[in-house]
Amino acid sequence: MTLGLVLALAAGTYAMRLAGPLLRDRFRVSERGGRLLSTAALTLLGAFVAVSACYESGSFAGWPRLAGVLVGGVLAWRGAPFVVVVIAAAGVTAVLRALL
Amino acid sequence: MGLSNRTDRASDTARLLPAVASMALALAVIGASLGAIAVSSGVPLWLVTVMAALVFAGGSELLVVGLTTAGAAPVTALLGGWLLNARHLPYGLALGDVMGEGIGRKLFGSHLLVDEAVAFALAESEPARQRRAYWVAGVTLYCVWAPSVLLGGLLGRGLGDPQLFGLDAALPAGLLTLVLPSLRDRSVLRAVLLGCLLAVLTVPLFDQGLAVLIALLGTVAALPLPNDRRSRAGEGGTA
């Protein structure tokens, strides 16, 4: 790994991050358009969660992680505080990993 | 307009802190394991720390360390990292106004654009609160990330397993918690379910980063339905 690679990754990533806000300045986005963009971002986030719950570098991440995320999701749905959700998800995953 | 005086703003920030702090803690452990993995596979500590500060996108950093130390060509690692980070462009389109007015805020705020900050912002409904959530989460996580990578590299091998304590489940679960309230809106729910389904099914076919981008197609499920409610709702509901 070289500094050149790091700088190229950083520059490309920053360009993609900055492109959104700059483009957003050029157009007047309607309220409905804005809502659709938020929905698109939520869809990406959801997909990111689903993929990182299920996969580790392209192959199935194993049941313990998936179960931990699902237990966290159910707790969150039932209104548990954020901290409890995160600890429960990690705890379930760690315990299942130790047992399986 | 919402939070006008100083006390309101302070209490709004205080409200965010427990959640932001636990997210930051989970991120710190991931960062420490990245540092440890990098150092134990021969990447100089200064280089991985510089990368953490300049790139600030953990997934792509782990990918690049993993690929290059496994002997992949640098260009492969670079393309993989860019692809994985391409989701930041649509994030920025959605949050462009949340960062605030002025080019300075956009230049700096864009560097803080990570999944977690996006999730904290979108979990709020009012613009002033969205802005506060974005900046509090973004700045906190940024301040935690590079130092924890450095610390992990210094402490070394013992921290090399990101799956230690099940913390690999903590970040997705935290993000899920922030996304859930928005799913009460039926059209958002349809879009997210379809997007998740598309992403999970396409990972084995494509790259992980590409699969997440393909999920964007799920957004069409949020478009107002004509009379045939059945077809799309059914499609999304199977996830």
Residue of A1, A27, A78 to mutate for B, most B C-beta atoms under 10 A: A1
> Which residues 123-162 of B have a C-beta within 8 angstroms of A?
none
SS3 A6: helix
- The reported pLDDT for the residue numbered B6 is 74
Q: Check whether residue A6 and residue A54 sit in a common domain.
A: yes
Q: Check whether residue A54 and residue A68 sit in a common domain.
A: no
pLDDT, average across residues A61-84:
92
B22 in contact with chain A, both atoms CB, cutoff 8 A: yes
Residue of A22, A25, A48 to mutate for B, most B C-beta atoms under 10 A: A48
Whether the predicted pLDDT of B2 surpasses 60: no
Which tops the pLDDT comparison, B30 or A73? Answer: A73
pLDDT, average across residues B9-16:
85
Q: Check whether residue A46 and residue A85 sit in a common domain.
A: no
Q: Which of B32-36, B84-88, B133-137, B194-198 has the lowest mean pLDDT?
A: B32-36
A38 in contact with chain B, both atoms CB, cutoff 8 A: yes
B21 vs B140: CA distance, rounded Å:
8
Q: Check whether residue A51 and residue A97 sit in a common domain.
A: no
Q: What is the span of the domain harbouring residue A79?
A: 62-100
* Residue B199 to chain A, least CA–CA distance (Å): 6
pLDDT band at B195 (very low <50, low <70, confident <90, very high): very high
Q: Which of A64-78, B92-106, B162-176, B201-215 has the lowest mean pLDDT?
A: B162-176
Which one of B63, B78, B169 has the shortest CB-CB distance to A89? B169
ipTM: 0.91
- The reported pLDDT for the residue numbered B190 is 93
- Answering whether pTM is above 0.90, one says no
What are B97-141's pLDDT values in tens digits? 899 888 999 999 999 999 999 999 999 989 999 999 999 999 999
Neighbours of A36 (CB within 10 A): 19
Count of structural domains within chain A: 2
Q: Flag if B51 and A44 touch (Cβ within 8 Å).
A: no
A54 vs A59: CA distance, rounded Å:
8
Please tell me which residue of chain A has the smallest CA distance to B74: A5
Which one of B81, B95, B194 has the shortest CB-CB distance to A41? B95
Q: Check whether residue A7 and residue A51 sit in a common domain.
A: yes
pLDDT band at B237 (very low <50, low <70, confident <90, very high): very low
* Residue B203 to chain A, least CA–CA distance (Å): 7
What are B163-194's pLDDT values in tens digits? 767 878 888 998 899 889 889 889 999 999 99
Q: Which of B41-50, B57-66, B173-182, B226-235 has the lowest mean pLDDT?
A: B226-235
Provide the sign of the torsion angle of the four alpha carbons B78, B57, A59, B191, taken in this order: negative
Whether the predicted pLDDT of B238 surpasses 60: no
Q: Check whether residue A48 and residue A9 sit in a common domain.
A: yes
pLDDT, average across residues B196-223:
89
A10 in contact with chain B, both atoms CB, cutoff 8 A: yes
- Please state the domain extents for chain B: 1-165
Q: Check whether residue A41 and residue A87 sit in a common domain.
A: no
B70 in contact with chain A, both atoms CB, cutoff 8 A: no
What are A34-51's pLDDT values in tens digits? 888 889 999 998 999 999
Comparing CA positions, the residue from B186, B185, B196 lying closest to residue B218 is: B196
pLDDT, average across residues B195-224:
88
Q: Check whether residue A70 and residue A93 sit in a common domain.
A: yes
Q: Check whether residue A34 and residue A72 sit in a common domain.
A: no
Q: What is the DSSP string of A35-95?
A: HHHHHHHHHHHHHHHHHHHHEETTEE--HHHHHHHHHHHHHHHTT--HHHHHHHHHHHHHH
Q: Check whether residue A48 and residue A70 sit in a common domain.
A: no
Q: Check whether residue A49 and residue A6 sit in a common domain.
A: yes
Looking at beta carbons, which residues of chain A come within 8 Å of B176? 49, 69, 72-73, 76
Whether the predicted pLDDT of B234 surpasses 80: no
